[in-house]
Structure 1
Amino acid sequence: MPSPMPSDAEALSPEEISRSAKRKRVALACDNCRERKVRCNGTKPLCGPCGKRGEDPANCKYTVIANSAKRVSEQEYIASLQSQVIQLQQTVSDLRERPGTSSDSYGGFDASNSPGAGSSIVVSGSRGDDGPMPTTNEQTLITEHHSFPPPLDASGQPGGPSPISAMGATNSIQVEPVMSRGNEFYGQSSVLSLLREVPRSNRQQAGPSTPARSNGQQPNTPGRSSSSSRLGINSMLQSQYALPPREVADELLRFYFSHMHILYPLIHSVGFRSRYESLWTGTGYQDLPPNDGPDIGLGGARCPRPVFFCALNATFALGCEFSDFTPDEKEAACAVFYGRMKDLLHIELLDNGSIAHVQALLLAVHYLLCTQYPTRCYNIMGLACRMAVGLGLHSNKFSERSSFTETELRRRVWYGCLQMEMTVSMTLGRPPSMRIVNDVPLPSPIDDAHLPLRENLTHLPEQPSAVNLFTVENIKLAKILAIILDQIYHPVSTEPSFRNSPTPQTSHQDLNTVMHLDASLEDFKSTLPDVLRWDRAVETPPEISAVLKRQSYILQARYLHLKILLFRPSFSWFCASTRSELQRRENIDLSNGSSSRPKETDLTMSLLVPCAVACVNATCELVGSIERSTNERVTGAWWFRLFYLMTSGTILILAECMQLSKQHFNQATLDAAWVSCLGNLDQMGNYHSQARGYTQSLKLLRERALSTYGTASDQSRQSRSASQRRGTEDTSDNHYLPHTQSRGQVGEANDDFPEKGFDVGWMEDYVDEFGVTPLLENWETGIETIMMPSNVAGDFGNGYSMPSFM
């Protein structure tokens, strides 16, 4: 069979095809070809002529007419393509870095549907046993990538999880690198500032940090989610509006109301639950007329859909933290809910604030407190405060033209902002941006069922809700905390020259403030309602007995922590003074046996010692209270317990160091509190991954601190013994008369001031005469050199070097 004739294209050689092809015209030539006036083939990134000349691809540029409609349209299209490429690359990277998800399901969560990274969530509109999902009528597959962020590298990339939690704690041994991360500031009231006071040697300052977690992850950090599409499709198809299975959602919401709402009733529970129930019906989230009932914020008629779902995901995330899921399951579920919540916190939605916006921001702050994002928590809290002021929540004039329900909700939200602002400012050591406004009355201790959503209420119930009494008392403690932060830790009226003075100065105004605050705390304790008192047993209804007991323990813990916070500056000064005195003795010239008097006089130390003892006693009581509440299973939020235990553990370490020079504290009480503190931390680590590692860090810190301080004490004693032997030889020449001991005198073995006995007998006369105990009049003076801001590093006066812990 004859072979077929070749076609025209097959008969031509490549060279002939190239010559016969018509030269293509290009719309734009590169800058080099235009300058040389040669034909450009428009190839990118390197055209043909530039390639023949060996030009760098970076020099082959194309310049078009700027600001033309075509140019703008092309750039927008290119930018959208680049954004999609970056998003896909990030998704691939997240999927490669995420750990293997557990195949076990929990509480109705299927491993294939949630909550791990890169999971696919099926949102179905078909009716099931629990009603339809709030989406379309057809099944829609929505894939969302909520993966755990990679661990923070040594460079501390901005935007990633911080080694410091939002409660201001860390389990890293090295404090200086942690506190110098970025431009973040952690001031005097933070745990980090307290941790820096633990003694350390110069070798330990550059010592290795604690090993990282084996899985290379920051514990319990919210996941990063890919930004959802902003295309003009049904918004309910977006992943942020997906819901977990009904059984799981109900359980998480129950945990939120039983653990968080009883402490911070920021939302109208009846209205919020009603809106939540509507999500599982055929109608879904329906937009209601704006004038349909009072403005209750979340769950009300004026609440935008994205804001409600943002708050709902926040409640789910908070509910996970109190659930009985395993630590890994909690991390995975919280990562999904946090990712959805974060995606719904759009800046454009905050242009016109509302009560619902403030409530959603406060719920987000509550969750962020248990994460490794302190700056994000701090900034969102500031946004909530500004929005609250912009809505006039700080003014009582609104109540004249609003319903009773609206007035109560506005007061709850305002004081919710006050409480959280003071809490976040305290934990991070930053000045609060809010000030106490006495124009706003406290909210009434009334249950949400008595705040009607339809008809107006003209009178209060005869008996207040016992559960809601906690809210009023908790606000009172927040006001005291605000005064402590304002007057003791961040006094704006103190002049720089006064604050930087190395000599302790006194002020009657400061003394009155401290005495007034101490009296305010005692008044608070004595005027508590009987059902919330922790020092007496009161019969309560069985259905609310556990709730009231939980609230009582939480109030006790916060009361004791305010005591610690009140006396902590003087305790720090006392520790620094004792340490400084030991180092001063090390430098005594043995040849002449003389030294200058210490900076702190007998009078100063007599004021510092009782305040330091009060601080340590409150610490031991706080640890005991946490242990009892844990045994009775009526604890509060675990991140507050972790904060209290880290504060207590550091103070116990410092107190233990002081015991090496003189027994100022009850050693048996210190030992019992230390064992209890470590035991509580170990138990928390079994249920919350973020609490792991703190026990080992505290043990290592205590070992190093005692080693460092014990060496200094031994050297000081040896130096003092040599001086005393020389002094004995010259007794006949100097006619030295020993100081006569008086009532309350410590004695000859006093380690604070060997030249004279430490006479504290005058304090008893002072109490007999005036009926009060003398307190340190000015806490701030001199403390700047003990509790330096986090962005300042260095050593302190008299050779006292701050430790580099955690």
Structure 2
Amino acid sequence: MNNPSTNRSPDAHPVKRRRVALACDPCRTRKSRCDGNRPKCSLCSDLGFDCCYTPSSTATNVIVQKDYLSGLEGRVKALENSLLAVRNDLSGLSCRVDQGHHLKNGHDEDHPPGAAIPDLAGTEDSVDGMGTVKLVEEEDSGFFGPSSNVAFLRHLTRGIVNSGTLSGGLANTVLKMGVYEGGFVNASRPPSPRLRQNDRSSKRGEENSIFAVPPQAETLELIHRFFSDTGLLFPYIYAPAFLETYHQMARENFGKVRRTWLGLLNMVLAMSTITTSPGMSDADARIAESDVFYQRGLGLCGSEILRGTTLEVVQFLLLMGQYLQGTQKSVQAWTIHGLAVKAALQLGLHSRDASRAFSPIEQETRKRTWYGCVVLDRTLSMTFGRPAAIPDSYVKLELPASHPDLDTSAVIESETSSLSLSFFNASIELYKQMWTILDLLYGQNLGCDISPSVSQTVSQVFAIEQHLFTWEKGLPDSLRLIDITGLRNATQEPSSNTAHFSWKFRTILTLRHLNLRVLLHRPILVKFIDACGGLQPDPQELKLLQQMGPNSLRVCADCAMEIIDIVYDIVYGPEWRRRLLGAWWFSLYYTFNAAFVILGLFWVCRNETVTGQSMAALVDRAQSYPCRAIAALLKLDGGNRMVDRCRVYLEHFKKAISDPSFAPNSGLYSTVSLVPPSEFNFSPLGMEFGEFMADGDLLALLNRE
């Protein structure tokens, strides 16, 4: 082989290789000659390699080609232009905000009084960053089955409209909206709605960080408050272990903490804040403060909840579902609950075999968490009118039990802890009867079954009443149900914590039991409403209904009146009584539901040809109760927008169907004032109060002519 050097002409000058200040990484690795072109050298371009220049740590001068610098300058210029455009947009939005504040106190010349002012939630630019996608209104849909308040209220409205007794303006509005088609709700909303600034927490800086934790004294106070309230009603979080973890994290200055545990801590703080006894703090401030904790928890565990691989995540989701019931995002509770159930099944919380691998304390905690899922599942199935996520056949574990290693005396008295467990088990057994009611009388809220006959309904109601009677007889003395007479006679505050919690558990169990009996007998009331509303039943069916139905009407009315009496006397009673109620949104639900059942009863009882007998005595006895319910809601949680909306709905519905023959006592009603519709800003979602009613229905009432 010839040597290349020998082939050169003797007269040729040697070719000098151009040296480059810095070769690219691929060329240096291959020990190839790099021409130093940027952003990609010729060799890397030919071979299709990624070209990267990494200066050595000892380099003092780096030669960069002019075209590369020009490219960088162009990119910086583009960024500056983008930043300027953003600043201009923010300036424009600021002007609109200022204009909104001005309009709140006066009237813009372009918007005369009475004209609709665009909500700031709608000022969001609906064109994406590329300027190519135009977002339009989105539609939310929701099914609210037979057991829901939405379905019952629309059923009642349909009967009243069909009978021709409803005032013309409201009837026309109802018919135009089609508000009673199977309890199905459609609502349009703007794209990506935002909360208004005055609805957000005003906290800034460190408090908005998802990793922020309140000062230790404040945190411990909220934790102890939680385990003295919600943690006793739903004892699926082991208090000593939770507190021990908190103290360990605090000693380490939260340098080593699991995101899921920190998220659970924030949900504990959120529940403790939002369930604070009404009257102890302003409702808006309390809800805003709890929302800060909720947002932190969501930010910490937003991705973890999609995996749901730990017990902490299930407990986090359970608390979040409970919390959302007490917010203006209550419809989201259904979605969160679905995640909780799937995570629980994924972990095998329902399985006795799966739990054998764990210690006795962990087994008991898993079992209690599973039953927490079951209880919440039954509650949401009833309130939303949707099929339960956990069939009764999946609930096979033994009831929660005390264990020597589960010592909570450092947090709560042993007697109170034992009473809490008995209350939890009594609730589980009561909600098993709720499953039976939803199954036999409401078709599991599937919306597929034909309505059972009168004889079938009455026989099923009677059988379930026997089960409820057996349940009540099995309660220990410390949990026996109360009545309004016993409550009024209890003038002295309980002398011990255990005695106080006994009263609290008895009160909550009583309200749950009464509400369940209302739910049990409501199908009979619905059959009467159908008959009064022009749906001609079979003559034999009507005869059976007239013979067997009035007794159910009386039971339904008695239970509804007892609910209203208990809530009314508690909210207008001494301070210690106000602490007997559970979370305010459950008291709101029971009272709201009871009031509408009585209004439905009033309307049915006016037609003796349908009832088959005079119900005047019952009507006279119940006459003042709708107004009594309104007065109770007025005092339940002052300034709470959720309570106020439900009260307004009740006031206007009562006014719409009122009749001089059952006009309420004017003295009581004089304490209640109708709130003008302009005082409320309705959600663009239209379904935020799905457990109570649809916003569209309320607007139909408020905007009637």
TM-score, structure 2 length as denominator?
0.64
Picking from 616, 631, 654, the partner of 1:679 is: 631
Moved more, 557-566 or 85-94: 85-94
Q: Distance in 1 between matches of 2:219 and 2:95?
A: 26
CA distance in 1, matches of 2:335, 2:86: 27
Report the Cα offset of residue 277 of structure 1. Answer: 2.6
Q: Structure 1 residues 485 and 87, CA, compared in 2 at 3 Å: closer, same or farther?
A: farther
Residues 579 and 253 of structure 1, relative CA distance in 2, 3 Å threshold:
same
Aligned to 1:551: 505
Q: Distance in 2 between matches of 1:154 and 1:264?
A: 42
1:204 aligns with 2:174: no
- Alpha-carbon separation, structure 2, partners of 1:84 and 1:482: 60
For 1:261 and 1:709, locate their aligned partners in 2 and report how far apart those are by CA, in whole Å. Answer: 48
Deviation per residue, 1:566-608 (Å, 9 max, x gap)? 1111111112212327xx8xxxxxxxxxxx9868531233232
1:450 corresponds to:
407
Answer whether contact 1:321 1:330 (CA < 8 A) is retained.
Answer: yes
1:691–1:462 distance in 2 versus 1, CA, 3 Å:
closer
Seen in structure 2, the aligned counterparts of structure 1 residues 519 and 69 have a Cα distance that, compared at 3 Å, is farther
Paired letter, 2:365 = L
* Corresponding residue for residue 450 of structure 2: 499
Instruction: Give the one of 640, 659, 662 matched to 1:688.
Output: 640
Report what 1:439 is aligned to.
Answer: 396
Higher deviation after alignment, 378-387 or 649-658: 649-658
Q: Is the 8 A contact 1:252 1:316 kept in 2?
A: yes
How far apart, CA to CA, are the structure 1 residues paired with 2:701 and 2:397? 42
8 Å Cα contact 2:375-2:431 kept in structure 1 = yes
Deviation track 1:323-353 (CA, whole Å, cap 9, x = no partner) reads: 3221231132123222212212323564351
Provide the secondary structure at the position in 2 that maps to 1:274.
helix
Contact 1:422 1:482 in 2 (8 A): yes
Partner of 1:661: 607
**Is 1:189–2:189 an aligned residue pair?**
no
| Distance change in 2, residues 1:444/1:348 (3 Å) | closer
Partners of 1:274 and 1:91 lie apart in 2 by 50
Rounded to whole Å, the distance in 1 between the matches of 2:312 and 2:470 is 35
Q: Mark the runs of 5 or more structure 2 residues left unpaired by the alignment.
A: 1-47, 52-71, 102-118, 127-137, 161-165, 178-192, 609-613, 663-691
Give the Cα separation in 1 of the matches to 2:622 and 2:273: 35
Of 411, 429, 433, 2:385 maps to 429
Does residue 531 of structure 1 match 2:478?
yes
**Cα 1:511/1:700, change in 2 over 3 Å:** closer
Q: How far apart, in 2, do the equivalents of 1:618 and 1:492 lie? A: 23
The aligned residue for residue 240 of structure 2 is 270
Aligned 1:613-762 pairs, distance under 5 A: 613-630=554-571, 631=573, 632-633=577-578, 634-662=580-608, 663-664=614-615, 666-686=618-638, 688-707=640-659
Structure-to-structure mapping, 1:65-144, within 5 angstroms? none
**Equivalent AA in structure 2 for residue 318 of structure 1:** M
Q: Distance in 2 between matches of 1:645 and 1:528?
A: 24
| Paired position in structure 1 for 2:352 | 396
Matches within 5 A, 1:372-391: 372-391=328-347
Aligned to 2:32: none
One-letter amino acid of the structure 1 residue matched with residue 378 of structure 2: M
CA gap 1:709/1:674 in 2 versus in 1, 3 angstroms: closer
* Cα separation, 1, equivalents of 2:358 and 2:551: 51
| Kept in 2: contact 1:657–1:709 (CA 8 A) | no
Q: Are residues 354 and 520 of structure 1, via their aligned partners in 2, closer, same or farther at CA, if it must alter by over 3 Å?
A: same
SS of alignment partner, residue 615 of structure 1: helix
Q: What SS class does the counterpart of residue 142 from structure 2 fall into?
A: coil
Contact 1:487 1:513 in 2 (8 A): yes
Match of 1:260, as an amino acid?
T
Q: Secondary structure at the match of 1:466?
A: helix
1:486 partnered with 2:424: no
Q: Distance in 2 between matches of 1:88 and 1:551?
A: 58
Question: Counterpart of 1:182 in 2: which secondary structure?
Answer: strand
1:193 is aligned with what amino acid? A
Provide the residue aligned with 1:30 in structure 2.
none
Residues 1:182 and 1:237: Cα distance change in structure 2 (over 3 Å): closer
Do the aligned partners of residues 87 and 282 (structure 1) sit closer, same or farther apart at CA in structure 2, a change above 3 Å counting? farther
- The corresponding residue for 2:135 is none
Tell me which amino acid in the other structure corresponds to 2:623: D
Q: Report deviation, 1:624.
A: 1.6
Structure 2 CA distance for aligned equivalents of residues 487 and 96 of structure 1: 56
Paired with 1:271 and 1:86, the residues of 2 have a C-alpha distance of 49
SS in 2 for 1:686: coil
Are residues 1:258 and 2:214 paired? no
The amino acid of 1:377's aligned partner reads A
Q: Distance in 1 between matches of 2:379 and 2:85?
A: 41
| TM superposition shift of 1:278 | 3.1
Decide whether the 8 Å contact of 2:561 with 2:625 is kept in 1.
Answer: yes
Post-superposition Cα deviations, 1:149-205, rounded to whole Å, max 9, x if no partner, equal: x787799x9xxxxxxxxxxxxxxxxxxxxxx97211111111112222143344214
C-alpha distance in structure 2 between counterparts of 1:639 and 1:701, whole Å: 20
Contact 2:399 2:425 in 1 (8 A): yes
1:362 aligns with 2:318: yes
Does the aligned pair in 1 maintain the 2:387–2:444 contact within 8 Å? no
1:249 corresponds to which letter in structure 2? T
Deviations 1:607-641 (A, max 9, x none): 32222222111111111222344322211110001
SS at match of 1:243: coil
Flag structure 1 segments of 5+ consecutive residues without an equivalent.
1-66, 101-149, 158-179, 210-215, 229-235, 288-304, 454-460, 585-595, 711-788, 795-801
CA contact (8 A) 1:682 1:695 kept: yes
CA contact (8 A) 2:652 2:701 kept: no
Q: Confirm whether residue 612 of structure 1 aligns to residue 612 of structure 2.
A: no
**Identical-residue share of aligned pairs (%):** 23
Aligned amino acid, residue 646 of structure 1: F
What's 2:462 paired with?
A: 515
Residue 414 (structure 1) aligns with: 370
**AA matched with 2:596:** T
- Change over 3 Å in CA distance of 1:549–1:152 after alignment to 2: farther
Residues 237, 651 of structure 1: CA spacing in aligned structure 2 closer, same or farther, 3 A cutoff? closer
Give the Cα–Cα distance (whole angstroms) in 2 for the partners of residues 221 and 444 of structure 1: 47
Distance 1:381 1:671, change over 3 A: same
Superposed CA offset, 1:118-158 (max 9, x none): xxxxxxxxxxxxxxxxxxxxxxxxxxxxxxxx787799x9x
2: CA distance, partners of 1:259 / 1:269 = 12
Equivalent of 2:219 in 232, 245, 249: 249
Deviates more, 1:276-285 or 1:681-690: 276-285
How is 1:239-388 mapped onto 2 (pairs within 5 angstroms)?
239-284=209-254, 286=256, 305-323=258-276, 324-348=280-304, 350-351=306-307, 353-388=309-344
Contact 2:494-2:500 at 8 Å conserved across structures: no
SS at match of 1:187: coil
Q: Is the 8 A contact 1:446 1:468 kept in 2?
A: no
* 1:218 to partner: Cα distance: 8.9
The answer on whether the counterparts of 1:467 and 1:544 sit within 8 Å (CA) in structure 2 is no
Contact map agreement 2:371 2:428 (CA 8 A) in 1: yes
TM-score by length of 1: 0.56
> Aligned in 2, Cα 1:410/1:346: closer, same or farther, shift over 3 Å?
same
2:560 partner amino acid: T
What do residues 633-670 of structure 1 show as CA deviations (whole Å, max 9, x unaligned)? Answer: 21111000111111011112112223433442523431
If each structure's helix is expressed as a fraction of its own residues, which one has the higher value?
2
